[in-house]
Structure 1
Amino acid sequence: MENIKTVSDFNFKNKIALVRVDFNVPVNNNQSSQVIDDTRILYSLPTIQKIISDSGKVVLISHFGRPKGKCSKIYSLKFIISYLSKRLKIPIQFSENCIGKAVEKKISELKNREILLLENIRFYKEEEEGDENFAFQLSKLGDIYVNDAFGVSHRTHASITIVPKFFREKKCIGFLMEKEIQSLKKVLGKGIAPITILLGGAKISSKIAIIENLINLVDYLLIGGAMSYPFIKAQGGKIGNSLVDEYKDFEALKKIIEQYQKQKKTKIFFPKDVIIANSFKNSAKTKIVPIHSIPNGWMGLDIGPTSIKNFCEIINFSRTILWNGPLGVFEFQNFSSGTTSIAKAIVRATENGAFSLVGGGDSIAALKMKKYETKISYLSTGGGAMLESLKDKILPGIKAIIS
């Protein structure tokens, strides 16, 4: 990983850079498709600007949404053109196609310091299938391949893992990818103790391997949100009608807890109390109960005051913090206290010198609701990719660059 090439290792003068970016940004749903959160675009601009300043040519590849291999106006990337042009202060050309003679002709006419944005790569089913021939057709469009799409680098899609094969030594990562890798190293590789990882959200099945891998690597593992309920159930607790992921191997969860209890380094904590409701809505009747004693007909929608106090105390004295996933249904004001309190505690710890890394759409959305996003050390552009990195695996997109 130390020897991975970045855009800094190349001079792009008179070269065509085929840059895989992640412009899959949230937009409003009216016809104007205005960008609601431009974090991913902003983080990719330095890479594009580097290539342009070298007098290179840029061909941008991105996906947007899940069109499932079919062309759709709803998922067209055309809306990005004016936004990108305004940010870079240069005109952006657009191609309706990603492969074929028409796009090859447009690229042959590109001048130095010009940018061509290709249409949504997922309009081609071959992208998600990782099709070799499709990848070869894409590879013909550039001289140097650049991966700056951390958010999808855990996918084995054609533009992420197959296209780089055709570039041999002429491939690298962009500045966004470099920052993501460095930030993750600051947590697990070179993190200053105490290191705390906080996992929330609903999908426990995608985080089992992470939880197993973190034993003996971090000092504190805090588990909250909906993913805490299967663990409570595995220990014999009553969770009422609380949300439980499709993961049903409660014996495996019990064994994980036992593994944590046997070793001395990593301490695992679950909420002690929760705010429960008799229906899934903001106006529902609520009460605070121990997490092991949620009555039937009631569901946990937020962590309780004792849990907030316990989690925040650990965060306050932590020197390295990673957070992924909300602690409750923060979209409902009456069940947002846990998530916003945690966000505030992480901001406070960061101000006191801790390194904080936050990833995942919901976690970042919670920060932005309180305008805390600029008070965190680093916001990751890929929740899923960040979590995959915690499984002690090299992401497929990074592996494709170094192999």
Structure 2
Amino acid sequence: MALRTLTDLDDKKFNGKRVFVRVDFNVSVSNGTVGEDYRIRMTIPTIEYLTKRGAKVILASHLGRPDGRDDDYTLAPVAKRLSEIVGSRPGIKVRFAHDCVGQPVEDEIGRMNNGDILLLENLRFYKEEEANDLKFCKKLASLADIYVNDAFSTSHRKHASTYGMAKLVDARLAGFNMRKEVEYLSMMKDNPIKPFKVVVGGVKIKDKIGALEHLLLKADKVIIGGAAAYTFLKAKGFKTGKSLIDNEHLPWVSKALASYGDKIMLPTDHVAAISPADTSITMVKGDIPDGMAGFDIGSETIERYSTEVSGTNGAGMIFWNGPMGMFEVRAFANGTVNIAKSMALAYWRGAKTLIGGGDTLEAMKKSGVAENEVSHVSTGGGATLRYLAGDEMPGVSVLNGQ
């Protein structure tokens, strides 16, 4: 999908203009301090491009799911972290507005100099944001001369800031992060580099069915781990003990195995225990005993999966979504750590490697793999899977006038 981006507009058109940038600063905040700031850092190229061209940059985001105005969900700590990242450039200020609409916000924007940055307060302090309320859309649109969406991860939703207000602004552009996301994911969805391998973990199969239906057609191998693997194994007739099973989607899994069984790789051994808190773990091959559950892939499976992922000989494309086990617990992290390191090795050997989903990024970091050791880390979780499934992406399509 070709998108009209920042570079498609003449530089002079940004000078002195109010550029409203929808970003995704939905990051973890604890005791007023931002944790993982990857989503903030990914917007810096767009922000700096605009400030250098004299735009008045108005940033807007949601944070969490507040029920009305709630200071526990304020974006003030994010504004502080953004200031630290942007650094002190002469004459450039990062300001924080204590609301996202209304006269005080308009006054704050009126005081901005060219190149200044203003972060608005949490959009979800207003229920009208998620409701795509027309009056709220008009209030947001009145703040902008140019609209930019750099928040791919929220673009599967028809909210006021991702869709409704954009329709009311004539000049609509994609930011650099949005462009990169769409380029990489479109390549994977429509014309992946061969051999194309998909690694799927995590818990919920339901959220991944749409993407899997599309990817199973294109992929040369689909490697299944995490709790998702136990539903596949149960469908094949294995005993899975107390392991998490998605019984509702067993019929879909059975159908996928019947159609694509030659492509699908499943664990042959497991790290099992009575509960996540159980210190006496057992390596189990084949069936999982009654009373026990699988919490990670076993050593034999790790070796098989790692060889498949890293053995690309400088060719192909690999997509990883979802950890291989309960990686938050050290005893069940080995599978995930090895897949992360295998992804890095494949990248250094020349393969295109893509990682999607917040859990997967966290797993990668915990494994000691840096962001620059993969080709692309998607900021979208649900949005990434929805795009790969071919679902409607209102925040993307509206940029092309739809």
Residues in 2 aligned to 1:155 and 1:290: alpha-carbon distance in whole angstroms? 43
Paired letter, 2:279: A
Question: Does the CA contact (< 8 Å) of 1:201 and 1:227 recur in 2?
Answer: yes
Paired letter, 2:148: V
- Runs of 5+ consecutive residues of structure 2 not aligned to the other structure: none
Q: How far off its partner does 1:82 sit?
A: 2.4
Given the alignment of the two structures, is residue 268 of structure 1 paired with residue 267 of structure 2, yes or no?
no
**Runs of at least 4 residues off by over 3 Å:** none
1:311 equivalent in structure 2? 305
Offset from partner CA, 1:87-138 (integer Å, 9 cap, x none) = 2223222222212222122222322111221100011111112222211111
Offset from partner CA, 1:173-211 (integer Å, 9 cap, x none) = 101111111222343334321110111000111011111
2:132 aligned to which of 130, 139, 143: 130
Q: Secondary structure at the match of 2:282?
A: strand
Residues in 2 aligned to 1:130 and 1:307: alpha-carbon distance in whole angstroms? 47
Matched ranges for 1:113-128 at <5 A: 113-128=115-130
Residues in 2 aligned to 1:137 and 1:240: alpha-carbon distance in whole angstroms? 55
Offset from partner CA, 1:148-175 (integer Å, 9 cap, x none) = 011211222211121111013x001101
Q: How far off its partner does 1:394 sit?
A: 4.7
Q: How far off its partner does 1:16 sit?
A: 0.5
Q: How many residues align?
A: 390
Residues in 1 aligned to 2:144 and 2:95: alpha-carbon distance in whole angstroms? 16
Residues in 1 aligned to 2:291 and 2:188: alpha-carbon distance in whole angstroms? 40
2:288 equivalent in structure 1? 294
Given the alignment of the two structures, is residue 369 of structure 1 paired with residue 366 of structure 2, yes or no?
yes
Q: Against the structure 1 CA distance between its residues 231 and 370, is the aligned structure 2 distance closer, same or farther, given a 3 Å change threshold? A: closer
Question: Does the CA contact (< 8 Å) of 1:279 and 1:285 recur in 2?
Answer: no
**Greater shift in the superposed pair: 143-152 or 228-237:** 228-237
Q: How far off its partner does 1:145 sit?
A: 0.4
Q: Secondary structure at the match of 1:206?
A: helix
Matched ranges for 1:2-401 at <5 A: 2=2, 4-10=3-9, 11-27=13-29, 29-30=30-31, 33-68=32-67, 70-88=68-86, 89=88, 90-168=92-170, 170-245=171-246, 248-261=248-261, 267-281=263-277, 283-291=278-286, 293-318=287-312, 319-373=316-370, 374-401=372-399
**Greater shift in the superposed pair: 141-150 or 380-389:** 380-389
Paired letter, 2:23: V
Q: Secondary structure at the match of 2:248?
A: coil
Q: Secondary structure at the match of 1:135?
A: helix
Residues in 2 aligned to 1:141 and 1:67: alpha-carbon distance in whole angstroms? 23
Question: Does the CA contact (< 8 Å) of 1:24 and 1:65 recur in 2?
Answer: yes
Residues in 2 aligned to 1:253 and 1:210: alpha-carbon distance in whole angstroms? 13
Q: Secondary structure at the match of 2:42?
A: helix
Residues in 1 aligned to 2:375 and 2:348: alpha-carbon distance in whole angstroms? 9
Paired letter, 2:303: K
Residues in 1 aligned to 2:94 and 2:342: alpha-carbon distance in whole angstroms? 42
Question: Does the CA contact (< 8 Å) of 2:288 and 2:294 recur in 1?
Answer: yes
Question: Does the CA contact (< 8 Å) of 1:355 and 1:377 recur in 2?
Answer: yes
Q: Secondary structure at the match of 1:113?
A: coil
Scaled by the length of structure 2, the TM-score of the pair is: 0.93
Residues in 2 aligned to 1:93 and 1:257: alpha-carbon distance in whole angstroms? 54
Q: How far off its partner does 1:398 sit?
A: 0.4
Q: Against the structure 1 CA distance between its residues 305 and 85, is the aligned structure 2 distance closer, same or farther, given a 3 Å change threshold? A: same
Q: Secondary structure at the match of 1:207?
A: helix
Scaled by the length of structure 1, the TM-score of the pair is: 0.93
Residues in 1 aligned to 2:364 and 2:310: alpha-carbon distance in whole angstroms? 17
Question: Does the CA contact (< 8 Å) of 2:242 and 2:290 recur in 1?
Answer: yes
Question: Does the CA contact (< 8 Å) of 2:210 and 2:385 recur in 1?
Answer: no
Q: Secondary structure at the match of 1:398?
A: helix
Residues in 1 aligned to 2:35 and 2:84: alpha-carbon distance in whole angstroms? 16
Q: Secondary structure at the match of 1:165?
A: helix
Paired letter, 1:307: T
Question: Does the CA contact (< 8 Å) of 2:273 and 2:292 recur in 1?
Answer: yes
Question: Does the CA contact (< 8 Å) of 1:16 and 1:144 recur in 2?
Answer: yes
- Runs of 5+ consecutive residues of structure 1 not aligned to the other structure: none
Residues in 1 aligned to 2:153 and 2:85: alpha-carbon distance in whole angstroms? 21
Residues in 2 aligned to 1:196 and 1:220: alpha-carbon distance in whole angstroms? 5
